[in-house]
Structure 1
């Protein structure tokens, strides 16, 4: 009996050590920053950046890794202190609940081993989360609420138009007040149950992507095996999202799902993090026709920051992507959609956002256009469409 107790004690100690070391090692490995801060920019770009009233980003997976976002991290891309350092008003924190082993842009099986299961265990999460996608999702949403509570009123989880108006007003007196919204990356998190939409809505989630890197009950992924459009269940989900006011995020959706959603949805759509085929011909990127249809739907497109979305070198291609949307459909349809902390290498962390302003200035963008891209478009879209 004594030997058994010693064995389990040692096992428990190994587990505790793993909780403190494994998640941070994995995050550091999966989310490198190619160029560390600080990021020098011209005086002109710096002055313009400091005049911006509302800076927003449509996609960040920081909740996945178990970091305390109220503290400035020495790894990853986003946390609350770094948001404040560069005056970011709003971040869309997206929830990843499943990721296939061998994840790639071309083809992934829904039956592949799930990378998030061992990470969930290593983070020391409740056993109820170990094998439940909906529980993992709700847990990450609750984590953002807990971080906000620690901020004692200086961080607002945006769920309604009134919340956003409150954030805007509070920042006039205190620019250190920040906001966060919650999205889901892949509706496999619903586990095929329509009633789980109510559960995630009640948890504060206001954006859901039908698919992520693999096909699910709603239909086909841009990186899946079937290429299918919305299933009957998928159509039910879209209609329910419209009813509740949950935004549909078309990033990672198959072209057939994009077609189906644009035909079915009565509400404008978001593409939270993407590239453009005109800049990088990838199957995860948008064609000009898709961009035009999204614009006709009064949607908004977030440009991602990583190489497999925009190509290499990233910064000039980010600027080229923004310029292409402006020239094709208008400046009001484009925004930032970094995919920070999304298992991607990025050229700069969130404190490097002034580099975007510098790049836009060099391409001849006006101050009003830069304001639109850096956050005013997101603010306008949300004020118009949040319930």
Structure 2
């Protein structure tokens, strides 16, 4: 009897030890794994940055910079604080003289991730949501993931001590730009959605996302959906009947159409239907980097003819290089093909890509554009004015 009690006691102690160890491991995983993942997936090229000339520094400081694409809300960093990893936070936006950053929300990414032939059966963001302790509803709902990231941006606005604000209307934009003329130590964000699969097939969700502050929706991401075909999908089809309904609702609300990742058929059909300019927030061009991720000359012409802009990305698949000069070459190609008024920057910062520099060192690109032969007026258009003029046309009043 005594022996049985001793065995029971040892068993209970062993069980308690196992449970305690499991809890400790869980605490360590959930405490340290998110930062490890963010560091691993968002590296910066080890290439040594070039010292900025005095003329490049002065020009960069005079600009009102707008970047069309960053996925920073996906990761578990406090964006109000300066970090030594990742690509974007409020202090580094201010250091880099960025006036407006478009923060795009990612809700589903297949694994493995291919340039072509992805299906929608797998998803890496579910694992990331659990690892980063997102609210439980977001583990099972793409719309909830979008809403959670939107609310993260809203929290950032509240917690940034007046240094960050969210732009939702033309009036917001114009008031902010006027204020920033007097105070460069502030920055702003605009909320976008990367992939309309987060609508979960419900047209009323377009309105809900609009009410939460979204002002831009990319129809496609890495796989074909019930809305439209993706350049990286299996079928690469066009707009579905639901996709056409989504497009109509977006136009009624004043939501901006982003054709990044869209299949050629989707792009053609959208441009036949819409009367509003469209943009491609982050891309490369096949003329300098020939792969399925990047735009053909014909697609460049289509976007320009709509009155839209093309945001050139900073990662190797977009520009076939790992330095600022590769980005500048792609920008030069667009400017020469369709005109200086239709090209912008769309970094894809924090988009699980390696980039040449973080946002604090964006002056590297200003200098590379000078070396590429662009004038100061042309650089101002590339780095901001083309996008600002488009937003002043497209944002709701």
State TM-score, norm by structure 1. Answer: 0.96
Q: CA deviation at 1:9?
A: 5.2
How far apart, in 2, do the equivalents of 1:5 and 1:199 lie?
Answer: 47
- Asked whether the 8 Å contact 2:167–2:188 carries over to 1, the reply is yes
1:376 matched to 2:385: yes
- The Cα offsets for residues 107-150 of structure 1, whole Å up to 9 and x where unpaired, read as 21111x21111110111111111111100110000000101101
- Asked whether the 8 Å contact 1:212–1:253 carries over to 2, the reply is yes
Alpha-carbon spacing, 1:361–1:148, altered in 2? closer, same or farther (3 Å): same
Instruction: Provide the residue aligned with 2:342 in structure 1.
Output: 333
1:16 matched to 2:27: yes
- Asked whether the 8 Å contact 1:39–1:352 carries over to 2, the reply is no
Q: CA deviation at 1:16?
A: 2.6
1:262 matched to 2:244: no
Q: CA deviation at 1:57?
A: 0.3
How far apart, in 1, do the equivalents of 2:103 and 2:12 lie?
Answer: 47
How far apart, in 2, do the equivalents of 1:5 and 1:283 lie?
Answer: 54
1:134 matched to 2:120: no
- Asked whether the 8 Å contact 2:71–2:349 carries over to 1, the reply is yes
Instruction: Provide the residue aligned with 2:320 in structure 1.
Output: 311
Instruction: Provide the residue aligned with 1:244 in structure 2.
Output: 253
Indicate the SS of the match to 1:89.
Answer: strand
How far apart, in 1, do the equivalents of 2:175 and 2:19 lie?
Answer: 51
Instruction: Provide the residue aligned with 1:97 in structure 2.
Output: 107
1:85 matched to 2:64: no
Q: CA deviation at 1:205?
A: 0.6
- The Cα offsets for residues 141-198 of structure 1, whole Å up to 9 and x where unpaired, read as 0000101101233211011111111210111221112110111111111111111111
- Asked whether the 8 Å contact 1:32–1:345 carries over to 2, the reply is yes
Q: CA deviation at 1:235?
A: 0.6
1:72 matched to 2:82: yes
Residue among 331, 336, 341 paired with 1:322: 331
1:48 matched to 2:73: no
Could you list the runs of 5+ residues in structure 1 that have no partner in the other structure? none
How far apart, in 1, do the equivalents of 2:17 and 2:103 lie?
Answer: 42
1:298 matched to 2:307: yes
How far apart, in 1, do the equivalents of 2:184 and 2:272 lie?
Answer: 40
- Asked whether the 8 Å contact 2:60–2:97 carries over to 1, the reply is no
Could you list the runs of 5+ residues in structure 2 that have no partner in the other structure? 1-10
Q: CA deviation at 1:36?
A: 7.1
- Asked whether the 8 Å contact 1:222–1:255 carries over to 2, the reply is yes
Structure number with greater Rg is 2
Residue among 103, 119, 122 paired with 1:109: 119
Q: C-alpha root-mean-square deviation of aligned residues, in Å?
A: 1.6
State TM-score, norm by structure 2. Answer: 0.93
Q: CA deviation at 1:358?
A: 1.1
- Asked whether the 8 Å contact 2:255–2:394 carries over to 1, the reply is no
